[in-house]
Amino acid sequence: ALSAAALPPPLPPPSPPAPATRWCRPGGAAVVMFLTRSEYDRGVNTFSPEGRLFQVEYAMEAIKLGSTAIGVATKEGVVLVVEKRVTSTLLEPSSIEKIMEIDTHLGCAMSGLTADARTLVDHARVESQNHRFTFNEEIPVRSVTQSLSDKCLAFGEGDEDAMSRPFGVALLIAGWDEEQGPMLYHTDPSGTFVKFTAKAIGSGSEGAQTALQEEYTEALTLAEAEVLALKTLKQVMEEKVTSTNVDIAVVAPTYRLYNEEQVKAVIDRL
List the single range of 45-59, 132-146, 166-180 with lowest mean pLDDT: 45-59
Shared domain check, 156 and 102: yes
Number of domains in the chain: 2
- Condensed to tens digits (0 to 9), the pLDDT of residues 22-38 reads 555 555 544 444 456 67
- Condensed to tens digits (0 to 9), the pLDDT of residues 32-83 reads 444 566 777 777 778 888 898 899 999 999 999 999 999 999 999 999 999 9
Give helix then strand counts, H and E, for the chain: 7, 12
Give the gyration radius of the chain's Cα atoms: 26
- Condensed to tens digits (0 to 9), the pLDDT of residues 90-118 reads 999 999 999 999 999 999 999 999 999 99
List the single range of 10-19, 64-73, 90-99, 180-189 with lowest mean pLDDT: 10-19
Q: Which domain holds residue 39?
A: 20-52
Question: What are the CA-CA distances from residue 157 to residues 39, 46, 48, 64, 165 (Å)?
Answer: 15, 10, 17, 26, 9
Task: Indicate which CATH number applies to the domain containing 81.
Answer: 3.60.20.10
Its pTM stands at 0.83
The SS3 call for residue 23 is: strand
For 135, other C-beta atoms within 10 Å of its C-beta total: 9
CB 111 within 8 A of CB 170: yes
Shared domain check, 202 and 150: yes
Look over the chain and give the mean of its residue pLDDT values, rounded to a whole number. 88
Shared domain check, 253 and 228: yes
